[in-house]
């Protein structure tokens, strides 16, 4: 370490003088121990935070800031890192001290960038403009960063930063950020996966990503199947892949966008014959947004044709689904979950109107199983 702290400016008869002397002594002790014993480092950190806590006058805080910056310039990496960790949690730290630590390498600056409540949007935007990807990633992990900061991070087109952003559940994306992330995700499966799992990503964005990534999956599967399978088995695998990818990317066939393919219907029948078709499987299918596969599964489960199931699901009041549920012994909780998920997919609404939920709930309670079975019997295949 080079030089010592100038104590001349600190010779004042104030209540902070003993703390300044204590800090000076603690720093000397720390500097004299070549092994940098953590005990001395902890003492220095505590002295620093105590000084910041007790200084209330502007003149005192300015003087303390000058002293601490001088000390930080003289300190070695481990002490700077310890101070950054401690100061990142305080809301009354002078910005000049934080800026001194932000000029260090990312291993020291990270806790301040990621956690400090002192940094505002302008500070974060400046860091984005002046530093590199390691600093961007730390900002992307901050709690509840504002839209303008998210946009600036997306505009870097930095994949590692984007991967941190899409995993940050405390932020939301503007249309601009989503368009950038959608473009990047089309070329990076590791980015596409967490982006698609976010609840706030519109279906239109999700389908575009699925369409692009799905084509790569099908091409790779075609290459693998051609080597390891018979022509007939390879064709069957390709049909399944095509159905799944098409369903996610909206490449639907048939009159309704929810009409299942023959392969989907065969798969549902196979699940039914094997005793694996239940509410858990159907709700898991819905949770992935696979409405066509859900229709196929409901057809097999309730022994109804596709037109009947689709027409009943499209009812906004939930009466049709309530009839299917009551007739087939589906519980009220499962019915309501299915109703909410199908309505979100079919209507495109994130929030289903309360009156629709209330009507569906009331109708389920009122209709008897025998009447529901009688209504469906006329439509059974």
pLDDT tens string, the chain, 381 residues long: the values are: 444 444 444 444 446 777 777 776 777 777 776 555 677 778 878 888 888 777 655 567 788 888 888 888 878 888 899 999 999 998 889 999 999 999 999 999 999 999 999 999 999 999 999 999 999 999 999 999 999 999 999 999 999 999 999 999 999 999 999 999 999 988 887 898 888 778 788 867 776 776 666 555 444 444 444 445 555 655 555 555 556 555 655 544 444 678 888 878 988 998 899 898 999 999 988 887 788 889 999 999 999 999 999 989 988 888 999 999 999 999 999 999 999 989 888 887 777 888 888 999 999 999 999 999 998 887 664
**116 backbone dihedrals φ, ψ, rounded to 5°:** -65, 125
Cα dist from 110 to 75, 115, 237, whole Å: 18, 8, 47
Answer yes or no: pTM beyond 0.75. Answer: no
Q: Note the pLDDT of residue 247.
A: 60
- Residues 83, 45 contacting (CB under 8 angstroms): yes
Strand pairing partners for 380?
304
Quick one: 101 exposed, middle or buried, by C-beta within 10 A (0-12, 13-18, 19+)? buried
Tokens of 199: 């609840």
How many other C-beta atoms lie within 10 A of the C-beta of residue 122? 10
Q: Note the pLDDT of residue 221.
A: 41
Q: Note the pLDDT of residue 320.
A: 92
Tokens of 30: 């720390």
Strand pairing partners for 304?
380
157-177 per-residue burial string, b: 16 or more CB within 10 A, e: under 16? ebeebbbbbbebeebebeeeb
Strand pairing partners for 53?
none
Look-up: residue for tokens 């000029």? 103
Q: Note the pLDDT of residue 11.
A: 42
Q: Note the pLDDT of residue 197.
A: 79
Among 247, 278, 281, smallest CA distance to 261 is for: 247
Q: How far apart are CA 300 and CA 270, in angstroms?
A: 9
Long-range contact pairs involving 64-70 (C-beta distance under 8 Å, separation at least 24) = 64/16, 64/20, 64/94, 65/94, 65/96, 65/97, 66/9, 67/5, 67/9, 67/10, 67/20, 67/23, 68/97, 69/96, 69/97, 69/100, 70/5, 70/6
Q: Which residues, in sequence order, are CB contacts of 275 under 8 Å at separation 6+? A: none
Tokens of 3: 């030089």
Q: How far apart are CA 269 and CA 303, in angstroms?
A: 10
Q: Note the pLDDT of residue 365.
A: 93
Phi-psi map region of 168: left, alpha, beta (phi>0 left; psi -120 to 50 alpha): beta
Q: How far apart are CA 323 and CA 371, in angstroms?
A: 9
Q: How far apart are CA 147 and CA 128, in angstroms?
A: 14
Q: How far apart are CA 123 and CA 119, in angstroms?
A: 6
- Residues 128, 100 contacting (CB under 8 angstroms): no
Q: Note the pLDDT of residue 58.
A: 59
């Amino acid at each position: 370490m080079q030089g010592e702290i100038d104590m001349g400016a600190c010779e004042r008869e104030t209540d902070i003088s003993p703390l300044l002397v204590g800090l000076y002594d603690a720093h000397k002790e720390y500097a004299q121990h070549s092994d940098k014993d953590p005990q001395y480092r902890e003492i220095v950190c505590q002295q620093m935070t105590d000084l910041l806590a007790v200084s209330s006058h502007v003149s005192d805080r300015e003087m303390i800031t000058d002293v601490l910056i001088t000390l930080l310039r003289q300190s070695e990496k481990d002490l700077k890192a310890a101070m950054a960790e401690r100061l990142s949690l305080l809301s009354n730290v002078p910005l000049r001290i934080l800026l001194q630590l932000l000029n260090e390498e990312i291993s020291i600056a990270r806790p301040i960038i990621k956690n400090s409540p002192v940094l505002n949007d302008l500070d974060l935007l400046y860091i984005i403009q002046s530093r590199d990807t390691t600093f961007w990633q730390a900002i992307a992990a901050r709690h509840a960063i504002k839209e303008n900061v998210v946009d600036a991070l997306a505009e870097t087109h930095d994949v590692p930063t984007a991967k941190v952003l899409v995993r940050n559940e405390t932020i939301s994306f503007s249309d601009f950020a989503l368009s950038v992330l959608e473009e990047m995700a089309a070329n990076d499966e590791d980015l596409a996966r967490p982006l698609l799992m976010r609840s706030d990503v519109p279906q239109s964005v999700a389908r575009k990503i699925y369409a692009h990534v799905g084509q790569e999956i099908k091409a790779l599967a075609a290459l693998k199947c051609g080597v390891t399978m018979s022509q007939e088995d390879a064709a069957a695998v390709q049909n399944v892949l095509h159905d799944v990818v098409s369903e996610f990317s909206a490449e639907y066939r048939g009159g309704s966008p929810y009409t299942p393919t023959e392969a989907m219907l065969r798969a549902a029948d196979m699940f039914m014959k094997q005793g694996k078709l239940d509410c858990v499987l159907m709700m898991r299918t819905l949770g992935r947004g696979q409405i066509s596969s859900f229709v196929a599964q409901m057809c097999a489960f309730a022994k109804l044709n596709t037109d009947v199931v689709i027409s009943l699901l499209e009812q906004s009041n939930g009466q049709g689904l309530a009839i299917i549920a009551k007739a087939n012994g589906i519980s009220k909780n499962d019915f309501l979950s299915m109703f909410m998920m199908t309505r979100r997919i079919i209507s495109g609404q994130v929030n289903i109107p309360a009156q629709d939920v209330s009507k569906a709930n009331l109708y389920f309670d009122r209709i008897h199983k025998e009447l529901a079975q009688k209504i469906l019997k006329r439509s059974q295949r």
